[in-house]
Amino acid sequence: MAKRTRPEDEAWTDYAAELATNLRRLRAEARLSQEDVAYRSGLTRYTYQKYEKGESKPGTPANPTIRTLRAMSQVLGVALTDILPADVPDLRLR
C-alpha cells in the first residue's frame, strides 16, 4: 500500500531541504569538511551527512534537535537563524 503524503509532510520536507542547503553553503564558507563539522558538533559523520541531504533517516525529512542545531551553528560560527530557513511550515496541521 502506498504511503499517503499530507501537505504538512511535504512542507516539512521542503523545509528540511532548505536547511540542508544552508548547512552545505555555510560549511563551504567556513572551509570545513563534513567530518570537521560533525566531530566538533558531537555527531557522527554519517548523521551530519544525512542532515546535509535533508534527511534524518533514509526517506525521512531531517528533524535535528535544538541542541544539535546550536552545536552546528557554533561550529560554523553563525547564528542559529542563519541555518534555519526563514519560511517555517505551519506545524499546527498535525
User: Does 7-87 carry CATH code 1.10.260.40?
Assistant: yes
Confidence of residue 15 (pLDDT cuts 50, 70, 90): very high
Is residue 4 scored above 50 in pLDDT?
no
Q: Are 20 and 14 in contact (CB under 8 A)?
A: no
Phi and psi torsions of 55, nearest 5°: -125, 155
Please give the pLDDT value at position 8: 57
Is residue 2 scored above 50 in pLDDT?
no
Map out the domains of the chain as residue ranges: 7-87
Give the relative orientation of helices 66-76 and 34-41 as an angle to the nearest 10 degrees: 120
- Segment (H or E) for 47: helix 45-52
Confidence of residue 6 (pLDDT cuts 50, 70, 90): low
Q: Give me 66's grid cell.
A: 535544538
Confidence of residue 7 (pLDDT cuts 50, 70, 90): low
**pTM of the model as a whole:** 0.86
pLDDT digits (tens, 9 = 90+) for 25-81: 999 999 999 999 999 999 999 999 999 999 988 888 999 999 999 999 999 999 999
Residue 60: DSSP 8-state: E
Amino acid in position 15: Y
